[in-house]
A and B are shown apart, each in its own frame.
Chain A
Amino acid sequence: MSGKAIRGQWVKIHRIILNPSQRAPSVPEDTKKCPLEMWLNGYLDQDEAMIGEEVIIKTVIGRSVNGTLTEIEPKYAHSFGKPIQELLEIGPKVRDFIEQGDIDER
């Protein structure tokens, strides 16, 4: 896939909302060092743009927002994760206990 988006294409933009120096006084030290950042998906509202360019998008509710183009056709990367051995053992062990009797109890 090319790094170029065209008008109307679903994209993700990024923007800095507050620089570290502008953060609230109450935040802990590690947070204070970071800027407050924003990410938002929308439809590219110009003829074309490359990743890294300043662009304007139209959000799904029609608002115009500007930011840096970071992803074209942004995907959802969350998953069901890997199988966890410690979880997989729970069901059979408890069913055994219900059907047969005592397991290694504390």
Chain B
Amino acid sequence: MLKEILIPIAILGGIGLFFGIALTIAGRVFEVKKDERVEKIRQILPGANCGACGYSGCDLYAQAVAEGKAEGNLCIPGTNVTAVKIGEILGIEVETQKTRVMRALCCPDVSKKFEYSGIKTCEAANLAYKGENTCNYSCLGYGDCVVVCPHDAIMMKNGAPIIDPMLCTECGLCAKACPKNLIQYVIGECGYFVACVSEDNGKTTNRNCKNGCIACKLCEKACEDDAIHVVNNVAIIDYDKCTKCGKCYDVCPKKIIKKFCSSY
């Protein structure tokens, strides 16, 4: 009776002991060295998995930063706070990003070339003669950016998107979704931006849209800091040089140089 119980216990115990020892040895010998910094960095990342850093998810970005493959300041929702913390963990100095906001560089006042009745997305409308608007660079207004925004920060008003800076985390998904490349970063706490990207010449732009940059270069002449230039028929502000004096804003005959502030 006792024998019938003891023998199986001895066999099972033996097997257990054998595998226990074997696994312990194997664990020691084949141990994968894990960088504990990866785990630490992962914990301070926001965990939104937005992909704005260029990696598919926070885990992969944490690993890339720890391995030195990526810069520490790429996490956009985490802002500079995360960048500084990553720098502390890695013991290096991470260059902090400048304050910036996303703005749609268009305020269309256009008429229609034809009536479009296809799929109601910007991507599809752009493939049909670059959209129904007379200006080929203008916002199509079907709201691909609104759909793609994970934070509900965008709404369409007067045919162009308005981005709420309080909700926007600057992840850049809207910029990628826009087939016209209208949504771009503007740099600084407060300042000015040019709300037009039309590379048509002044005459064509003026005919196509009432709110277009006509490349008159008045802003270029008014600027004392050499910060605004007309390149490819559209004014572009160099934010490194801009002192936010507002002279370009005052002289623009089309009133397409607009004020922005990151807090409202």
Q: Do A and B bind each other?
A: no
